A and B are shown apart, each in its own frame.
Chain A
Amino acid sequence: MDKMPKWADVILTPLISLVLAMAISALVILAIGESPWEAMKTMVQGALGSSYGWGFTLYYATNFIFTGLAVMVAYHASLFNIGGEGQAAMGGLGVALALLYIPLPHWALALPVAMIGAAILGAAWAFIPAILQAKRGSHIVITTIMFNFIAAAALNYVLVRLLRPVGSMDPASARFPESTNLPTLSDAFARFGFEWGRNTPANVTFFVALIACLLIWLLIWRTRLGYEIRALGKSEPGAVYAGINPVRITVIAMLISGGLAGLMAINNVMGEAERLVLNAVEGAGFIGIAVALMGRNHPFGVLLAALLFGFLYQGGGELALWTSIPRELIIVIQALVILFTGALDNMVRMPLERLFLRLRRKEAAE
């Protein structure tokens, strides 16, 4: 018998962790002499109070869905991929190369091509850590950290020395051709005569992200490969006994993970900046960790957690604009969410389990 019902495990523990994280954040806000209630109101107002706010919230959420799914897929194979940052940066390079060097007449054609470019480079960046983990047992956490830094240096070199247009000072690529620019959600609404979210970066990539959630759910729980990934994650000796090749599955899981992280680039590089700039990922790769943990490694959970972090990001920006609270508050909240849902999971879970056990005993006694 499970110690507690499934709904408590899936809904209650992340919620309690979130409440704890929020409570501590409120204390931090109090400590710096601001009102947590006012801060919360500013954030809700700024992120959800207008279609403008929603436009940014959905844009950020789209980034986090991809990086969250990336962490999630690897996690099911019990691999902790903290290289999402580097993989997403490389995905950006893939997008830039595809759009700058392949003539594409329409965005509907450019989108799949850019997606392929982003996924290939993202996956390639995950490949070496994956093969080293699978074949030589090099710890994937360390190698993916190293690859984040190598990616940053490589991208710095490519942008400063190779892709920067002649005469330009900032380390960024040329603008992508006009024809490849993705329609934003506000364009789509305008076509039907609604005014929604003008000048916001949310674009069609949001729907790609939703489809990705569905596909990943199908992959993990409805396909043979997904079964093999989960089997390997639960127990390597068990998986080997069942005839699963651990090297193959480790590499495939990491390639999918890296590809998903790379796909984030179609949102931020192709959809928003429309050129490749230095440090385009802005920490979204790391937020994927918080999103996957918070979302209990389920695509639907990842979607909800990504929306939550999208809200926090946009709200945090508004907070910095209207109050004296810097937007680094969001990093603190993010840290606390990771701490409570990831590292201090047992602290939340153990008292809950005890509570449910006692309730059950009472029921049994009656």
Chain B
Amino acid sequence: MRIKDSLTAIIVVAICLIWAFVDARAAQQGIDSALRLMTPLLLACLAGLYSERAGVFDIGLEGKMLMAAFTAASAAYLTGSAWLGLLAGIAGALALSLIHGLASITFRGNQLIAGVAINFLASGLTVLIGQNVFGLGGRTPSLSGAGRFNPITLPFAEALSGVPVLGPIYSELISGQTILVYVAFAMVPLTWWVLFRTRFGLRLRAVGENPASVDTAGVSVTRLRYAAVAICGVLTGIAGAYLATGLSAGFVKEMTAGRGFIALAALIFAKWKPWQALFATFLFGLLEAIANLYPNLDLGIIVVPSMFMNALPYILTVIILAGFVGRAIPPRAGGEPYVKER
């Protein structure tokens, strides 16, 4: 691995260390909040990773997550079970993924336009159905108890909290998150393994680079791309469910608030690689946490307004896209519908 590729990781670690050095308590609180804020970003980013590695560009991550958040919160409220909510969230996102697949794989339409349509569909339908079912102006009633994913205390968290440095990191940061946070982090090595160590992953990547060769080898391009889009649906489903039943307690209109697009930005930032996706989303989570904690960040020389912190993920992504700091090259066949030669 070259230095350039681990730049994000170095920056993230540096930010954490400097922060801990300046104000340990605030850093602990901030990094804890960053871990929670990055979870939906990471899941959505990995979702996009599968889809785009297979050659289907997805700007509908936002919509899929929003739909999942709504179906998850509704089901969790009606059944009282966060787990059934999670299933409903996955189902909601999968339904939109199916539309995406139909439009961009079966009917060989424009993948980007399909993504735009999915975003609006989710944005409209969630409020329309929500208002009809709950009558709260698009909100769902707030969830409590088993309707939410609650923090889990890992073994020995109490006992180890006295150990210097590592103790608080284990007991405060690593322990005490909801199960979906651990799922999201576990998805990173899993995704790496699936994409780079299995036959399915090899074929999936090939279908995003050169679908004709995969077709020649007798493997169905359509089936592979549908599989990728379905995995994308499952992951955005978990991301949405986490937003509505883990991070907050219920669905609010437009609650994804651009997270799907930040995940998209992170995907480019990570150059379509799973481990780098982890650090890119961590970086963006940190930025959000810092903006929340310090509305006016005083760096001594200048005061950075929170608006700038909020815009920073997008600005950084444009810089990366411009190719000034390493090049972000998308999968070669991305965005192109595959037409079988006759």
- Quick check: which of A153-161, A200-208, A249-257 contacts chain B, the rest being far away? A153-161
B198 interfacial by beta-carbon distance below 8 Å? no
Complex interface: chain A residues within 8 A of B109 (CB): 342-347
Instruction: Mark out the residues of chain A between 34 and 92 whose CB falls within 8 Å of any chain B CB in the assembled complex.
Output: 80, 82
Whether A343 pairs with B323 at a CB distance below 8 angstroms is no
B204 interfacial by beta-carbon distance below 8 Å? no
When C-beta atoms are compared, the residue in chain A nearest to B113 turns out to be A342
- Quick check: which of A222-230, A233-241, A299-307, A326-334 contacts chain B, the rest being far away? A326-334
Mask of A94-114 contacts with B, CB within 8 angstroms, 1/0: 000000000000000000000
When C-beta atoms are compared, the residue in chain A nearest to B337 turns out to be A346
Selected contact of B318 from candidates A33, A128, A154, CB within 8 Å? A128
Whether A342 pairs with B110 at a CB distance below 8 angstroms is yes
Listed A/B pairs (29) with beta-carbon separation below 8 Å = A33-B132, A132-B321, A136-B323, A138-B322, A139-B321, A146-B265, A146-B314, A149-B258, A154-B307, A157-B308, A160-B307, A161-B305, A289-B116, A324-B132, A325-B128, A326-B138, A328-B125, A328-B138, A332-B124, A332-B128, A334-B124, A338-B117, A338-B120, A339-B117, A342-B109, A342-B116, A344-B103, A344-B107, A345-B107
Whether B318 pairs with A344 at a CB distance below 8 angstroms is no
Selected contact of B127 from candidates A128, A147, A326, A350, CB within 8 Å? A326
Complex interface: chain A residues within 8 A of B114 (CB): 339, 342-344
Complex interface: chain A residues within 8 A of B322 (CB): 132, 136, 138
Complex interface: chain A residues within 8 A of B110 (CB): 80, 342-343, 345
Mask of B98-131 contacts with A, CB within 8 angstroms, 1/0: 0100111001111111101111110111011101
Complex interface: chain B residues within 8 A of A331 (CB): 120, 123-124, 127
Whether A293 pairs with B311 at a CB distance below 8 angstroms is no
Whether B317 pairs with A343 at a CB distance below 8 angstroms is no
When C-beta atoms are compared, the residue in chain A nearest to B62 turns out to be A145
Whether B317 pairs with A146 at a CB distance below 8 angstroms is yes
B261 interfacial by beta-carbon distance below 8 Å? yes
Q: In whole Å, how far is B132's beta carbon from the nearest beta carbon of chain A?
A: 4
Selected contact of B330 from candidates A139, A335, A343, A350, CB within 8 Å? A139
A150 interfacial by beta-carbon distance below 8 Å? yes
Whether A328 pairs with B123 at a CB distance below 8 angstroms is yes
Complex interface: chain A residues within 8 A of B119 (CB): 335
Whether B311 pairs with A153 at a CB distance below 8 angstroms is yes
A280 interfacial by beta-carbon distance below 8 Å? no
When C-beta atoms are compared, the residue in chain B nearest to A350 turns out to be B107
Complex interface: chain B residues within 8 A of A146 (CB): 261, 265, 314-315, 317-318, 321
B72 interfacial by beta-carbon distance below 8 Å? no
B150 interfacial by beta-carbon distance below 8 Å? no
Whether B258 pairs with A330 at a CB distance below 8 angstroms is no
When C-beta atoms are compared, the residue in chain B nearest to A339 turns out to be B117
A32 interfacial by beta-carbon distance below 8 Å? yes
Whether B120 pairs with A149 at a CB distance below 8 angstroms is no
Q: How many A-B residue pairs have CB under 8 A?
A: 150
Whether B113 pairs with A338 at a CB distance below 8 angstroms is yes
How far, in whole Å, are A138 and B268 apart by their CA atoms in the complex? Answer: 11
B264 interfacial by beta-carbon distance below 8 Å? yes
Beyond A143-B318, A286-B116, whether A339 also contacts B127 by CB under 8 A is no
When C-beta atoms are compared, the residue in chain B nearest to A287 turns out to be B120
Instruction: Mark out the residues of chain A between 165 and 220 whose CB falls within 8 Å of any chain B CB in the assembled complex.
Output: none
Whether B121 pairs with A326 at a CB distance below 8 angstroms is no
When C-beta atoms are compared, the residue in chain B nearest to A146 turns out to be B314
B230 interfacial by beta-carbon distance below 8 Å? no
Complex interface: chain A residues within 8 A of B321 (CB): 132, 136, 138-139, 142-143, 146
Complex interface: chain A residues within 8 A of B107 (CB): 343-347, 350
B175 interfacial by beta-carbon distance below 8 Å? no
Mask of A332-358 contacts with B, CB within 8 angstroms, 1/0: 111110110011111100100000000
B59 interfacial by beta-carbon distance below 8 Å? yes
Whether A346 pairs with B108 at a CB distance below 8 angstroms is yes
Mask of A310-327 contacts with B, CB within 8 angstroms, 1/0: 000000000000001110
How far, in whole Å, are A139 and B308 apart by their CA atoms in the complex? Answer: 23
Chain A binding surface, main DSSP class = helix
B210 interfacial by beta-carbon distance below 8 Å? no
Complex interface: chain A residues within 8 A of B113 (CB): 80, 289, 293, 338, 342-343
Beyond A139-B321, A331-B123, 4 extra complex contacts between A and B, CB < 8 Å: A80-B110, A289-B113, A335-B120, A338-B120
B310 interfacial by beta-carbon distance below 8 Å? yes
A141 interfacial by beta-carbon distance below 8 Å? yes
Whether A328 pairs with B128 at a CB distance below 8 angstroms is yes
A28 interfacial by beta-carbon distance below 8 Å? yes
When C-beta atoms are compared, the residue in chain B nearest to A333 turns out to be B124
How far, in whole Å, are A58 and B145 apart by their CA atoms in the complex? Answer: 50
Complex interface: chain A residues within 8 A of B125 (CB): 28, 328, 332
How far, in whole Å, are A30 and B81 apart by their CA atoms in the complex? Answer: 29
Beyond A139-B330, A338-B116, A343-B109, whether A326 also contacts B308 by CB under 8 A is no
How far, in whole Å, are A145 and B61 apart by their CA atoms in the complex? Answer: 13
Mask of B303-329 contacts with A, CB within 8 angstroms, 1/0: 001011011001101100111000000
Closest 10 pairs between A and B when the two form their complex, measured CB to CB: A331-B124, A335-B120, A153-B311, A332-B124, A342-B113, A343-B114, A339-B117, A343-B103, A138-B321, A335-B121
Complex interface: chain B residues within 8 A of A153 (CB): 307-308, 310-311, 314
How far, in whole Å, are A156 and B323 apart by their CA atoms in the complex? Answer: 28
Complex interface: chain A residues within 8 A of B308 (CB): 153, 157
Whether A156 pairs with B318 at a CB distance below 8 angstroms is no
When C-beta atoms are compared, the residue in chain A nearest to B324 turns out to be A136
Complex interface: chain B residues within 8 A of A286 (CB): 116, 120
Whether A145 pairs with B59 at a CB distance below 8 angstroms is yes
Beyond A342-B117, A343-B104, whether A335 also contacts B124 by CB under 8 A is yes
Complex interface: chain B residues within 8 A of A293 (CB): 113
Whether A150 pairs with B315 at a CB distance below 8 angstroms is yes
